Every structure is written in structure tokens, then in C-alpha cells.
Structure 1
């Protein structure tokens, strides 16, 4: 939030009155429950995004696996094996 603190208004008509009441009741500590709720919501959204990326990449891997050829490789015929050593 570097250089964005000027965008936050602590007074005026655009401030949510519930936040003002919470701040007046306990100062900065009054906003702690709001911060905790926001933290939980952000963490849940982050986990959701990770699971979405993992699911999409797994689905892409499965689709690519179906595109592989299956069966025995075609041999050259009557070639003799070569011993090394």
C-alpha cells in the first residue's frame, strides 16, 4: 500500500459508519475482528485459487495422456540383438 494511504479516508460521508463505531469503541484494537475476518476470507480465496490451478493442470495432463499412442512399438523385424561387453 505504498503511496496509497491518501486514498483511505477516515472521516467524511463515504466512510462506513460501522467501521467508525468499531474504531471509537476500541481504537485500532476495535478493528481487529474486522481484520481477522478479512484475513480468513483472503486465505480461503487463495486456497481456492490454488485448487483451481491444480485441478486445471491435472485435467490438462489427463487430456494430454489420452493423446499419447498406445500399444506395442513397431519393431524392425528379424534383427539380431547386439551384445555389449
Structure 2
């Protein structure tokens, strides 16, 4: 994949290693931080040995990291993640 990317670079764009490094990092960002979304919250499920209180605490931690989350979406995610008893 990297070789294909490199061979498709316009000629004379890479003038030194620093330019190559910057272009590479820009194209192949490995450590990029992605904003969390409601989809991640929907994946938050109560574990088999996890109490309801522990689950809610963990859920709230995830919830607080999602910007502009609608209350009804958070509530639906919370309820869907609770283990049936």
C-alpha cells in the first residue's frame, strides 16, 4: 500500500526526507485521535460479572467523551446495554 502511494506521488514533490516523512504521516495517520460517536456508546454492554452500578459508571465515562449527544440516544444506548435479568 505504501509503495503504491509512493509511486503515485507527483515527481519532484519529495525534496528531502522531512518532506517524505510529513507526506507519509499525513496520508497514513496511525495515531490519529478520532472523536467518539454514539456508535461507540451503543457497543457499551454490561458484562456478565458486572453489577448494574459498575456498568452505569463505565457507561457515564463513555457518555462524557461524546460531544453533542442527544439524551434520547444516550438513554436508548444505556437501556440496550443492560443485561436482561
Q: TM-score, normalised by structure 2?
A: 0.25
Structure whose residues are more often helix by fraction: 1
Q: TM-score, normalised by structure 1?
A: 0.25
Higher relative contact order (CA 8 A, sep 6+): 2
